[in-house]
Amino acid sequence: MAASASPAVDLSAALVLTPPPLGDWLVVLPVVLMIGTGALLMMVRKSVRLHGAIAIAALVMLVVLDAALLWRVSLHGPVTMVMGRWLPPYGIAFTADLFGAAMALAAAIAALAAGLFSLADIDAAGRRYGFYPFLMLLMAGVSGAFLTGDIFNLYVWFEVLLISSFGLLILGSEPRQIEGALKYALLNLIATTLFLIAVGILYAIFGTLNMADIATKARLAPPDAPLTTLTALFVLAFAMKAAAFPVNFWLPASYHTPRIVVSALFGGLLTKVGIYALIRVTIMLLPVEREALSFVIAVSAALTMLLGALGALAQMDTRRLIGYVVIAGIGNMMAGVAVGTPAAVGGAVLYALHSVITMTALYLMAGEAARIGGSWSLASLGGLYRRSPGFAAISFLLMLAAAGLPPLSGLWPKVALLKAALDIGAWWLAAAILVSAFLLTLALARVFLLAYWRPQPTPAVEQPCPTDWRITLPLAGLAVVTLVFGVFPEPVLRLSQAAADSLADPQAYINSVFPGGRVP
């Protein structure tokens, strides 16, 4: 008998033999929940009336799971789970650290708000086209990207969220949607292809795809390895995903074409996934090479901020205006990557968390303004303050947050980034942050002036516009989140700083993947 003849194989060298503690399942549960719910919604695709309730229940669950995961990570450090019980680096690892878990939680909150808003905004036709299944799969991709510990797996999650975003983008099949989707799809596909090229070269250099393993090996790499070229490819690919200058032009061409809920999800989540990957790769995996490219990243960051702010000033359509506000925010986060000190990365992480919440809320606000005022154009909007004072107050708070004015959450990341830029003597980067914030304040103040304070230009009949809890609740909820973290910033400041410190010194992350040290 062959089995009895061969000596007992020691499986512990290849497999995880002890079952993981129950709490570790939190790393994969967000993705499992979203894919499972997506599949369930496909199965009941004929009963569209059930879709909304199922999706909202799943999104509430997602927020709870991500909050529990963040709680666990902040208490016990990074959590790792490997697929198929194979020991890393052979098994594909899911690793949640503070940065990933916090981003996943912010994304889940934004998605829940957008999901609530969609109950009022997405009609039966949109539901039949599959809005909710696509939303679930989009969130599976976003959560997977934030929680994975394997760089090829990150590429796969990018593709998952990209293909679901195509579905969401063309919901309704209007000509302008198809046109926007074409531009979006082509440029994002090229960006992920660049990412794939970089992953291939990275595997050729290091022989591993596990992020903890790469972080270890990159610090011991031979000096002739083409790591700076590799990092430049990664930066280009992620800058394209994040819509940084000069590869940002797909964003204002497409983000205003779909339903406003879809715009809100994209503006809040998708560009931030690009920034997340940029921070993960340049700060944690390849810090030495980031140093070499920091000037290029800084120039791109400054130009992105200024272009975003100037673009916002020139727009007539509120949705396109907010698209440029998103771009200006990307510039601020890139500035944190360019400076690269733990304080600066902390600022960038905080900005990313703030931006997920605020940009989603801004798009939803534009949607509600269009519902009340009947237009997307600043030329014909007007009188919103008179017609709905409560909504005007929420909008005012959100605009303050987006412009980075106290007492909202936009102030603190900008302060952190400014201080970090001045600390290393990059005064021109600090000046760009200030000028961009000033121009954004002008652009958003003009929206408030024209759409809210100005009397309605065309004297329309004052029909009462009933408030809808499905719209008011998410808007007010997001405004409260940004207000609370603006007034009591201590917990998030500490969280983002701890996240940045653990990115700069990923020993805890590596220990979580390789508990007994790196076993070859």
Among residues 42, 53, 379, 434, the one that binds another protein under rule CB under 8 A: 379
Residues 22, 38: Cα–Cα separation, whole Å: 24
Q: Which of 282, 206, 181 is nearest to 239 (CA)?
A: 282
CB of 262 to another protein, least distance (A): 14
Q: Give strand ranges (E) for 12-100.
A: 79-82, 93-96
CB of 289 to another protein, least distance (A): 19
CB of 399 to another protein, least distance (A): 15
Contact map string, positions 289 to 318, toward another protein, x by CB under 8 A: -------------------------xxxx-
Among residues 185, 214, 279, 499, the one that binds another protein under rule CB under 8 A: 185
Cα-to-chain-centroid distance, residue 421: 23
Among residues 204, 292, 480, 487, the one that binds another protein under rule CB under 8 A: 204
In sequence order, what are the beta bridge partners of 210?
Answer: 150
Contact map string, positions 244 to 263, toward another protein, x by CB under 8 A: --------xxx-xx------
Among residues 11, 42, 83, 176, the one that binds another protein under rule CB under 8 A: 176
CB of 337 to another protein, least distance (A): 25
In sequence order, the 6+-apart residues with CB closer than 8 A to the CB of 185 are: 166, 169
Q: Per 3-state DSSP, what percentage of the chain is helix, strand, and coil (rounded to 5)? A: 75, 5, 20
Q: Does 200 bind another protein (CB under 8 A)?
A: yes
Pick between residue 296 and residue 445 the one whose CB is nearest to another protein.
445
CB of 465 to another protein, least distance (A): 22
Q: Does 207 bind another protein (CB under 8 A)?
A: yes
Number of H helices, E strands in the chain: 23, 2
Q: Does 182 bind another protein (CB under 8 A)?
A: yes
Pick between residue 146 and residue 195 the one whose CB is nearest to another protein.
195
* Tokens standing for residue 238: 């992620």
Contact map string, positions 320 to 359, toward another protein, x by CB under 8 A: ----------------------------------------
According to DSSP, residue 15 is labeled B
Pick between residue 199 and residue 344 the one whose CB is nearest to another protein.
199
Q: Does 189 bind another protein (CB under 8 A)?
A: yes
Among residues 450, 476, 479, 498, the one that binds another protein under rule CB under 8 A: 450
CB of 515 to another protein, least distance (A): 19
Is residue 508 within 8 A of residue 87, CB to CB? The reply is no
Q: Does 156 bind another protein (CB under 8 A)?
A: yes
Whether the CA torsion 427, 431, 437, 440 is positive or negative: it is negative
| Phi/psi at 425 (5° precision) | 80, 15
Is residue 358 within 8 A of residue 482, CB to CB? The reply is yes
* Tokens standing for residue 99: 């940065």
| Phi/psi at 464 (5° precision) | -65, 140
| Phi/psi at 15 (5° precision) | -120, 155
Part in contact with another protein (CB under 8 A); list of ranges 160-168, 329-337, 423-431, 486-494: 160-168
* Tokens standing for residue 455: 């009397």
In sequence order, the 6+-apart residues with CB closer than 8 A to the CB of 12 are: none
Residue ranges binding another protein (CB under 8 A): 152, 156, 159, 162-163, 166, 170, 173, 175-183, 185-186, 189-190, 193, 196-197, 199-201, 203-204, 207, 209, 252-254, 256-257, 314-317, 378-379, 446, 449-450, 454, 457, 520
